[in-house]
Structure 1
Amino acid sequence: MAEPTSPLWEQHVIDATLKWVDDIVIKHNFCPFARYVRTPHQIRCVVIEGDAGNVVQSLYDELRHLEENETTATTLIALTHSTLADFNEYLDVLAISDNMLHDWGYSGTYQLASFHPNYVFDGSDVDDAENYTNRSPYPLFHLIREADITRYMKKEEDAEKIFSHNIEKARTLGCPYFEGVLDTLKKDKPAR
């Protein structure tokens, strides 16, 4: 079992994550869905400290929370265990989590999206700007209701172009821009 983190540390992670949602995801329209749930405060953000077992248990707990709380549109699970700072370790836990989502009977009801400070799309170079569309201040799992995605995407004129828009926007802004924003979000971290 991991040592508990301080309330100040947890609040920092939540604040940095939600500021990233505002300053990157919504500001640059990387996820049109986000703006519809951010203003009425329907995004839940929780901080998980622990190994893969803790993460899987927390994932299940957050699925149950979403099932029982219609006013929560989506959950961001910030993963702060030091091994999850390694992108490959993170991907292993993501694969386990995806399998558990299926095993628990939530496939087709919820979608699990992934974000990480060192995110690299398959087939991309580590220094490609488009990786920043999925680079967050801390490793994240994002639980989204499939029905909400479908509903909000109907409001978009061309949902298929979101991915290509994101790549183009990221390349236009460039890596130094994103590095600066992410560095600012992680600045002045309190003790764990």
Structure 2
Amino acid sequence: MNRPQSLNDPVVAQTRAWVDRMVIGLNLCPFAKAPQVKGRIRYVHCEATTPEDLLSRLGDELQLLMRTAPDEVETTLLIHPHTLAHFAQYNAFLDEADARVEQLGLRGILQIASFHPQYRFAGARPNDVTNATNRSPFPMLHLIRESSIDRAVAAFPEAAAIYHANRATMRRLGKQGIAALLAQCRSGAG
């Protein structure tokens, strides 16, 4: 079962704090602030304990996002703390998640971005500080409308530069700075 988004839910509270402090606070995604401020990010604490159950919940959330107007829900964070805790398993699951998007006929309409506490970019060492750009308090799948991406890229023509700026930010913060911010998120402080 997916829990409704509630600030009383510690998983949702920590994730919201991460979005506020890391994603928006460090400007890792210049497009995140508006949906957050307008309350258009759907935070879903998914209780799935198996990849199969998570895949089912993912299908439900993809369909819900399609049925909901963007001015109500722009994007969804499907947070699943009880499954795919190991990054290798999570990373392998992403192929299944993309296949579900395809299966539902949503390719080119919705896409999935990946965030995980152990996130590791291809070719990067596990302790590379730049991996922190995609490290979240819990494993999660970010369901994004392609139309939102198109609007964001049109408004920010240098979108390709974000990746390099984020890496530079992580290097500047260093492991201690990143750890301190993540600790603040774990405390749920917003």
**Structures share a fold, TM > 0.5?**
yes
- Counterpart residue number, 1:73: 74
- Counterpart residue number, 1:39: 37
State whether structure 2 residue 60 is matched by structure 1 residue 61.
Answer: yes
State whether structure 2 residue 88 is matched by structure 1 residue 88.
Answer: yes
Per-residue deviation at 1:186? 2.4
- Counterpart residue number, 2:158: 158
- Counterpart residue number, 1:27: 25
Spell out the pairing of 1:122-141 with structure 2 (5 A cutoff): 122-141=122-141
* CA deviation vs aligned residue, 1:68-113 (integer Å, no higher than 9, x gap): 11110000000111x4111111112222111111122111101100
CA contact (8 A) 1:33 1:153 kept: no
The alpha-carbon distance between structure 1 residues 9 and 74, as it changes in their structure 2 partners (threshold 3 A), is closer
Give the Cα separation in 2 of the matches to 1:14 and 1:124. Answer: 29
Code of the aligned partner of 2:74:
A
The gaps in structure 2 that reach 5 residues or longer are none
* CA deviation vs aligned residue, 1:142-189 (integer Å, no higher than 9, x gap): 00000011112211141111111111111111121112222332248x
Question: Aligned to 1:98, what secondary structure does the other structure show?
Answer: helix
Question: Aligned to 2:122, what secondary structure does the other structure show?
Answer: coil
Code of the aligned partner of 2:80:
L
Q: Which has the higher helix share?
A: 1
Question: Aligned to 1:32, what secondary structure does the other structure show?
Answer: coil
The gaps in structure 1 that reach 5 residues or longer are none
Per-residue deviation at 1:8? 8.9
Give the Cα separation in 2 of the matches to 1:94 and 1:120. Answer: 14
Per-residue deviation at 1:58? 1.1
Give the Cα separation in 2 of the matches to 1:41 and 1:187. Answer: 21
Runs of 4+ in 1 over 4 A off after TM superposition: 7-10
Q: Which of 12, 17, 26 lines up with 1:14 in the alignment?
A: 12
Q: What's the Cα RMSD here?
A: 2.1
Give the Cα separation in 2 of the matches to 1:69 and 1:29. Answer: 27
The alpha-carbon distance between structure 1 residues 10 and 126, as it changes in their structure 2 partners (threshold 3 A), is farther
Per-residue deviation at 1:12? 0.3
Give the Cα separation in 2 of the matches to 1:102 and 1:91. Answer: 18
State whether structure 2 residue 144 is matched by structure 1 residue 144.
Answer: yes
Percent identity between the two aligned chains: 35
Give the Cα separation in 2 of the matches to 1:65 and 1:134. Answer: 25
CA contact (8 A) 2:21 2:185 kept: no
